[in-house]
Structure 1
Amino acid sequence: MKKLTTYFVLFILTLSATAQSVDIKEIVRKADQKLRGNSSIGEFTMTIQRPAWERTISMKNWTLGSDYSLILITAPAKEKGQVFLKRENEMWNWVPSIDRMIKIPPSMMMQSWMGSDFTNDDLVKESSLVKDYEHQLIGEENLEGYACYKIELIPHEEAAVVWGKIYMWVSQEELLWLKAEFYDEDNFLVNTEILSDIRQMDDRIIPTHLEMIPAEKEGHKTIMTFDQIDFDVDLKASFFSIQNMKRIRN
């Protein structure tokens, strides 16, 4: 028992020394920035898997920083032409088949996006992993051959976020975001996000295969594949307008 206690104390001391030598908040910022870029234009495929069926949705996405995002659905035909816009603290949905513009209120950010296991917040990242959370290094683990920091994110009291807690795994050398667990306010696991298939995309190496797996829905999973993405492209805030939602084409 004494030996186990000694090992535990040594582990805590080592972890504390590591935490002091690295800037955990900066690690989270860089991992998030690597996936997001200052701006980007990308093409993605989302596959929703259920025990009795499966469906695939294709889309194109434009982003500018963390405040602006526009998603155009390009397939299947039933949803083609739908547009989702995140502009600062607002989110909108243009549905051309019924000629209707819908404003999505904050109360719906936890709702399923396009019938998938992603929430509205997941897709437009209304909350900021850097600004809205307190970060703490709680361990180091090996994940798929990568030595990773395990980081706990607890929201600030005043932050308007949907999660009660997030665990995030980031590779120590490459700063690749490889896994995340999302918990509700009662500390129950809701979703697990697993990122894999590390490949070159434009000027950087990033995970290109993302799986969102709900904790209490057996056989449910949503897969997002990055087909193509260009980072740090020339985009202006004016591109992300309600007027442009109706004009945007593939």
Structure 2
Amino acid sequence: MNGLGACTRFRLTGKLLLTAVLSLSGVSAGADTLISDAKAVALVQGALDQWRGMSSYAEVSMTIHRPEWQRSMSLNSWTRGDKDALIRFTAPPKEAGNATLKLNNDMWIFAPKLNQVIKLPTSMMTQSWMGSDFSYNDLAKSDHLLTEFTLQLLGSEPMGEHVQHFIKATPRPDAPVVWGKEVLAIREDHILLYEQFYDQEMQLVKEMKTLEIAPLGGRQYPVRMRMVNYAEPGHWTEIATRQAFFDLALPGFMFTQSNLRNPRPWRPD
């Protein structure tokens, strides 16, 4: 998933962030073009590759926090390329078996209680996924930053032993996205540190932050990430990746509606 999911230990938000990175780069707010910056594209592509590889299998826990309550779930995910993903919940018992399948730009869900595979219409893609602070669009976005946004490198600055790069993503004309812009911070080793989502009035609505980075699956990985919903104080969803494998030879049946409804068990040996 490739996700849930995506993030940082440090935080620059809203106007302060935008002012800082624009002053670093000398770029004005109205300087966007329809041509993406090559370095920004390479950083975003690298972050996607770091997150998903050519294919992946992961075991993840998800915690949904609200001011009045908190609940946790477990799930397994499989990804293929930049566009295909299967996510299946394994716990608690009342959620086990719920699954989501994404193929290219199409998405289906399976609910065991209904015993139905349902294709999601476009109008539902902005709704909450499994009651979390992630939407179906967040789950499905894959390479949407590369295909539906213009990417501009705003600036860079040291971060301990690393360098962090700030990128602004502006929707292309007529792109089917709800955000006015996104702002990302990516380390030079392609770890996504955070991704901020702004509405059409350029107000910060939510932010996905990396809280912990550790070796996983033979690479440095954002093992704990949190999506904070600023429109709803006290609302956040955290995903923690417990185990992951990358660049696998996945079986052909994995990304099918048949396997969505009637799962065939498979995990790396």
TM-score interval (norm. to shorter): 0.7 to 0.9
Match of 1:212 in 2: 227
Work out whether residues 62 and 69 of structure 1, in 8 Å CA contact, stay in contact via their aligned partners in 2.
Answer: yes
Q: Percent identity?
A: 35
Q: Contact (CA 8 Å) 1:163, 1:182: kept in 2 or not?
A: yes
Of the three residues 150, 160, 164, the one matched with 2:166 is 150
Whether 1:121 and 2:132 are equivalent positions in the alignment is no
Whether contact under 8 Å (1:163, 1:184) holds in the other structure is yes
- Which of 90, 107, 129 does residue 123 from structure 2 map onto? 107
- Alignment partner, residue 18 of structure 1: none
Show the 5 A alignment for 1:196-235: 196-235=211-250
Tell me by how many angstroms 1:237 deviates. 5.6
Shift of 1:97: 1.3
- How far residue 50 of structure 1 moved from its aligned partner, in angstroms, is 0.7
Report SS of the residue matched to 1:60: strand
Which position in structure 1 is the counterpart of 2:62? 46
Per-residue deviation at 1:122? 1.3
Structure whose alpha-carbon radius of gyration is higher: 1
How far apart are 1:201 and its partner, in Å?
A: 1.1
Q: CA deviation at 1:114?
A: 0.6
Amino acid at match of 1:114: M
Q: Residues 212 and 70 from structure 1, CA distance in 2 versus in 1: closer, same or farther, beyond 3 angstroms?
A: same
Instruction: Determine helix, strand or coil for the equivalent of 1:23.
Output: helix
Map 1:1-250 → 2, pairs under 5 A: 12=26, 23-125=39-141, 128-141=144-157, 146-172=162-188, 174-235=189-250, 238-248=253-263
Partner Cα distance (2:176, 2:251) in 1: 26
Residues of 2 paired with 1:10 and 1:163: CA distance? 24
User: Relative to 1, partners in 2 of residues 1:83 and 1:200: Cα closer, same or farther, differing over 3 Å?
Assistant: same
Give aligned pairs, total.
236
Encode CA deviations 1:208-228: one digit per residue, 9 max, x unaligned: 100000112111111000111
Write the letter of the residue equivalent to 1:63.
Answer: T
Deviations 1:131-162 (A, max 9, x none): 22111111224557743111000111132223
Separation of aligned partners in 2, 1:209 and 1:112: 20
Q: What is the alpha-carbon distance in structure 2 between the residues aligned to residue 11 and residue 107 of structure 1? A: 38
Unaligned runs of 5+ in 2: 1-21, 28-36
- TM, length-normalised to structure 1: 0.87
Contact kept? 2:83, 2:143, Cα under 8 Å: no
- In the alignment, structure 1 segments of 5+ residues that lack a partner are 1-7, 14-20
The answer to whether the 8 Å contact 1:62/1:71 transfers is yes
RMSD between superposed Cα atoms in Å:
2.4
Is the alpha carbon distance of 1:10 and 1:126 closer, same or farther for their aligned partners in structure 2, counting shifts above 3 Å? closer
8 Å CA contact retained: 2:85, 2:103: yes
User: Would the aligned equivalents of 1:84 and 1:94 in 2 still touch at CA under 8 Å?
Assistant: yes
How far apart are residue 238 of structure 1 and its match? 4.5
Call closer, same or farther: CA 1:155–1:230 in 2, change over 3 Å.
Answer: same
Q: 1:61 to 1:10 in 2, by over 3 A?
A: closer
Task: Indicate how the Cα distance of structure 1 residues 142 and 214 shifts in structure 2: closer, same or farther if over 3 A, else same.
Answer: farther
List structure 1 segments (4+ residues) > 3 angstroms apart after TM superposition. 8-11, 141-146
Structure 1 residue 186, shift from structure 2 partner? 2.6
Work out the CA distance in 2 between the residues paired with 1:106 and 1:140.
36
Tell me the TM-score normalized by structure 2: 0.81
User: One-letter code of the match for 1:12?
Assistant: G
Q: Which residue of structure 2 aligns with residue 16 of structure 1?
A: none
Deviation at 1:167, TM superposition (A): 0.2
